[in-house]
Amino acid sequence: MQRRKFLQAGAVGAAATALASPAIAQDKRQWKMVTAWPKNLPGPGVAAQNLADRITALSGGRIEVKLYAAGELVPGPGVFDAVSEGTAELYHAVPAYWGSKSKGILLFGSQPFGLRADEQVGWLAHGGGQALYDEMYGRFGIKPFLCGNSGPQWGGWFREELNSAEDLKGMKFRTTGLASEMMTKLGVAAEAMSGPAMFQALQTGALDAGEFIGPWTDSALGFYQVAKNYYWPGVGEPSSAEECGVSSAAYDELPDDLKQAVAFACESLYNPVWTEYTTKHALSLKSMVEEQGVVVKMFPEDVITAMGNAAKEVIDELRQNDDELVQRITESFVAYRDSVGSYMTYADNGQMNARAKLFGY
């Protein structure tokens, strides 16, 4: 796909009628979904449209969801506030963008050296995470749902080769969430920005490196054109959950069957979104290496060690946060990570390590 398809800015400041309260006529509602993404951006932009369509379908058309991409109704970074304040009924984004609201929010999307995509659902569904998720977002008048996951993200695109942890000091690097705090502890100047803005910053030298998502989305944004060194593993975000935030007022007004339609639309998309990322990441990486000259490199061991030590500092600070809810979220996350992580040594890790030994098929 051509990068230009995803970089067209939407018009900001729609007519006042676009901001009006949802119409409810003959048990039909018109909901506005605002997203943090360019329209139909491979990965999150596609997933957002699928969610809007699925809510409309599962509600039998009683909730008609119209999607507004980043900049069409509100800027991408403003979607959380738009739903919290009632400008829109729901948004599609990632929790990693809302650290300014509460540090505790950041644990629901991705955590350095944290949970995989399946473990993230396990924590929320079976480890007490959803109740904490609801409690935190309830402070802002939002009902949260996970609705997808990118799977393992990548370490990032680097203009120059990375040889040691010392090379990170003073580096200007795009990332978000707790990964940003981890990198800052290593002397990195971490900056949050959109994917299109990251491309421009790498191109001009305003950034030395940056991570966004993974091969499928990254290739569509053209990062390989301005930085050829593509590093793994993405320990800053072993997975990144996508979320749907629904206005609590709009959600609470729904009859029970429509509440179930919204909840199931989100839940039922998690695996399709995750597996589409996995499938298309693999295809896109192969294409970038063979056709675009991308050089895939593993982070040096001392870089991974330095990141791990910095990540421990980040989690320790969350455990001592002044907000008692942030403390409870952190302890719940750590307990689930330790429990499932110890089991994975024998289960998935064992299977994957065995499969990595090539047996001729």
Rounded to an integer, what distance in angstroms lies between the CA atom of residue 33 and that of residue 68?
6
Place of tokens 């061991």: 301
Closest listed residue to residue 273, CA positions, set 53, 114, 50, 97: 50
**Cα angle, residue 133 at apex, residues 130 and 134 outer, rounded to 5°:** 90
Rounded to an integer, what distance in angstroms lies between the CA atom of residue 165 and that of residue 207?
18
Q: Is 319 annotated as a binding residue?
A: no
Question: What residue ranges in the chain does DSSP mark as E strands?
Answer: 24-25, 28-35, 63-68, 90-93, 142-149, 156-158, 172-174, 189-191, 209-210, 229-232, 241-247, 295-298
Annotated binding-site residue? 301: no
153 a known binding residue?
yes
* CA–CA gap between residue 104 and residue 109 (Å, rounded): 10
For residue 171, give the DSSP letter: -
Pairwise CA distance, residues 220 & 74, whole Å: 23
Q: Is 174 annotated in some ligand binding site?
A: yes
Q: Residue 212 annotated as binding?
A: yes
The CA radius of gyration of the chain, in Å to the nearest whole number, is 20
Which SS3 state, helix, strand or coil, does residue 188 take? coil
Query: Packing angle between helix 301-319 and helix 324-344, nearest 10 degrees?
Result: 140
Other Cβ atoms closer than 10 A to 185: 17
Buried b vs exposed e over 339-354: b needs ≥16 C-beta within 10 Å? ebeeeeeeeeeeeeee
Residue pair 179/112 in contact (Cβ under 8 Å)? The answer is yes
Token pair belonging to 238: 């072993």
User: Locate tokens 């001392």: which residue?
Assistant: 302
Tokens representing residue 216 in the block:
């499928």
Known binding-site positions for Na(+):
212
Known binding-site positions for substrate:
153, 174, 211, 237
